[in-house]
Amino acid sequence: MLKKIILHAAIGGTIFGLGIFVTNELRMFNLGGAMLYGGFFYGILSVAYILYKGALPHVKKKINEKEIAKAQENLLKYKQLFNEGILTEAEFTEKSQGLKRKIL
């Protein structure tokens, strides 16, 4: 991932540098300005996207872990309600099946 970040930051920096050259040396202010901003935003956005894609699996894993924990908690609540006679066996079975799928 670090190699990709360095590569895309270097590409953005190169485009930015060419924009400076075009603006200052060739006096093409519109094109140079566009290249300056283009290089800057390319570098920033590409690095941000690489970081986002790298973090995405970790975020999904955390969300999944929280969903499993919540399903386990709800299953225990339903079991307690069933044991207390508040839920019938059919109601408990219906509610617990979806939760068991999330857990397993």
Burial class for 61, CB neighbours closer than 10 Å (0-12, 13-18, 19+): exposed
Quick: pLDDT tens for 73-97. 999 999 999 999 998 999 899 888 9
Share of the chain above pLDDT 90, in %: 56
Whole-prediction pTM value?
0.55
State the Cα–Cα distance between residues 104 and 99, nearest whole angstrom: 9
Q: What is the pLDDT of residue 102?
A: 84
Q: What is the pLDDT of residue 22?
A: 92
Quick: pLDDT tens for 7-54. 999 999 999 999 999 999 888 999 999 999 999 999 999 999 998 888
Q: What is the pLDDT of residue 95?
A: 87
pLDDT tier, 58 (very low <50, low <70, confident <90, very high otherwise): confident
State the Cα–Cα distance between residues 9 and 92, nearest whole angstrom: 56
pLDDT at 55 over 90: no
- Please say whether the beta carbons of 76 and 87 come within 8 A: no
Q: How many CB atoms lie within 10 A of CB 19?
A: 21
